[in-house]
Amino acid sequence: MAMSMGSSGGSMSEINVTPMIDILLVLLIIFMVIVPVTPRGLEALVPQPPKRPQPQIIDIRTVVVQVLNRSGQLPAYKINGMDVTHDQLLPRLTEIYANRAERVMFVKSDDSISFAYIADVIDIAKAANVDHIGLMTPKIQAGI
């Protein structure tokens, strides 16, 4: 601390800011050097679509439940293309998933089907211990 004597005869103390400015400049240089070294994030490679279209391979493990519209009646149900009734859905799905470790199912329906029927199929699948249920939209169906 420096002291100066004023003309009024009283003592007045002033802070010497030079060491404080030196410390701030050193800290500024340190942070400027450290900041570019910190990692900015993970670099991930995004999978690219194949250049040639692949032949369509149907996986036997894939289970697709279709809800089809019958004019003026209750909808029809199919599991992987095989016709089943509404009452047979739960026993058939339970039988399919009895020995599977991977419990994934897809639900596909006509556009005119009420979502209540699709929700019913999802409830039946949950009762059959299906873990993951996917809904197939027309856009997804066109890509498959």
What would the pLDDT profile of 81-138 be if each residue is shown by its tens digit? 899 998 999 999 998 888 888 888 999 888 888 888 999 999 999 999 888 888 887 6
* Contact assessment for residue 84 and residue 77, using Cβ atoms and an 8 Å cutoff: yes
How does pLDDT run across 5-55, given as a tens digit for each residue? 556 666 778 888 888 899 999 999 998 888 776 566 666 666 677 777 656
Closest to 96 (Cα-Cα) out of 63, 122, 126: 63
**All structural domains of the chain with their residue ranges:** 7-37, 63-143
β-bridge partners, 78:
66, 83
CATH topology classification for 63-143 = Nucleotidyltransferase; domain 5 (3.30.420)
At which residue do the structure tokens 């209750």 appear? Answer: 74
Distance CA 64, CA 79 (A): 6
Q: The tokens 């400049």 sit on which residue?
A: 25
CA dihedral 105→91→109→62, nearest 10 degrees, is: 30
User: The pTM is what?
Assistant: 0.55
